[in-house]
């Protein structure tokens, strides 16, 4: 019996079999599915699953922060298309050993993030798991049809931008594995792993600007997520190593962990910043708009080119890094 090659192979087979319908604007293959409930309006739907031992480790991931993360990583998908999150569904498959205190803390964290973004929990499911706990969340959002940003649309000559420093969540995970989760000096990095922040306000500004050609959130690392945009847009990309934003604390952690800091940014994943492309002549205008609206800075890390694949340009050398981030079933 043969098995599809990796997570992308599995998704491709399902995508081919699923087909489409007239009301479906965006189907399998983007951050959200998008359908048109009425003229001029779009609804967005995303779902994500977290498995103990794969996506989180209870040895260092407290239930309150786990609840927050379970909500945030799904809301991030809505932000990645410029939408407004509205409703959520939560399904829990829990092992027999969980207690009321764990459940109360998890629920408090989950609901706190929903409240921060005006999202209402409307249902879900609860079952017992014989082995590992599994958390599954679905978030529904909405937006005006003319503002939708997908992974398609990147054009040769576009500048590739990110919304913040990269690699901090991966650095935080490495520190947790070293038993440093509670060390006060590392809390910004540990917090990036335990409690990421979805970029909803920025996503709305970018969508309303009309200047962004393609976008997604950074969940699997810059190398993989930019490769997704390139594949959907039919283009290639070059990333300038010296332009990838890395914090001084991350560089310090890299020395402690014996890890090249750039590797965390390219392949670590779970940053949940936004990755997007903009025409070169519009970059300054967009930067000024984002500063004015929400006081944020944007970082240009590369450019879209003809061809396919993602390439890192470092010290005069050019090497392909497509899909070097995390992937299930690899």
Q: Between 121 and 158, where is the model more confident?
A: 158
Has residue 3 got a pLDDT over 60? no
What is the reported pTM? 0.88
Distance, CA of 234 to CA of 255 (rounded, Å): 38
Q: Between 228 and 26, where is the model more confident?
A: 228
CATH superfamily of 159-320: PurM-like C-terminal domain (3.90.650.10)
pLDDT class of 1 with cuts at 50, 70, 90 = very low
pLDDT class of 2 with cuts at 50, 70, 90 = low
Sketch the domain layout of the chain as residue ranges: 6-147, 159-320
Which bin fits 311, alpha (ψ -120 to 50), beta or left (φ > 0)? beta
CATH superfamily of 6-147: PurM-like, N-terminal domain (3.30.1330.10)
Has residue 19 got a pLDDT over 80? no
Has residue 325 got a pLDDT over 70? no
274-317 pLDDT per residue, tens: 999 999 999 999 999 999 999 999 999 999 999 999 999 999 89
Has residue 117 got a pLDDT over 90? yes
253-267 pLDDT per residue, tens: 999 999 999 999 999
Tell me the helices (H) and strands (E) count for the chain, helix number first: 10, 13
């Amino acid at each position: 019996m043969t098995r599809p090659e990796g997570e992308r192979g599995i998704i491709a087979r399902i995508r081919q079999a699923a087909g489409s319908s007239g009301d479906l604007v965006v189907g399998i293959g983007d951050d959200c599915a998008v359908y048109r409930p009425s003229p001029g309006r779009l609804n967005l739907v995303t779902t994500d699953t977290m498995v103990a031992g794969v996506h989180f480790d209870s040895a260092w991931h407290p239930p309150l922060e786990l609840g927050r993360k379970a909500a945030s990583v799904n809301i991030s998908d809505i932000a990645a298309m410029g939408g407004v999150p509205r409703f959520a569904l939560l399904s829990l498959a829990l092992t027999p050993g969980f207690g009321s205190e764990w459940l109360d803390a998890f629920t408090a964290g989950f609901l706190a993030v929903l409240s921060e973004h005006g999202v209402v929990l409307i249902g879900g499911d609860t079952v017992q798991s014989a082995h590992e706990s599994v958390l599954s969340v679905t978030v529904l959002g909405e937006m005006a049809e003319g503002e939708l940003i997908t992974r398609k649309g990147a054009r040769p000559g576009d500048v590739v931008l990110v919304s913040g420093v990269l690699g901090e969540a991966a650095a935080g995970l490495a520190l947790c594995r070293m038993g440093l989760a509670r060390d006060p000096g590392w809390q910004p990095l540990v917090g990036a792993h335990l409690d990421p922040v979805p970029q909803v306000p920025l996503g709305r500004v970018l969508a309303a600007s009309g200047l962004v050609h393609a976008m997604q959130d950074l969940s699997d690392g810059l190398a993989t997520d930019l490769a997704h945009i390139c594949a959907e847009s039919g283009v290639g990309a070059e990333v300038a190593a010296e332009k990838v934003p890395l914090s001084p604390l991350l560089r310090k952690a890299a020395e402690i962990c014996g890890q090249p800091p750039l590797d965390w940014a390219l392949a670590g994943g779970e940053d949940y910043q936004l990755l997007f492309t903009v025409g070169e002549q519009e970059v300054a205008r967009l930067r000024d708009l984002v500063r004015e609206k929400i006081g944020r800075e944007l970082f240009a890390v590369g450019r879209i080119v003809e061809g396919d694949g993602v390439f890192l340009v470092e010290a005069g050398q050019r090497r392909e890094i497509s899909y070097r981030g995390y992937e299930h079933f690899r």
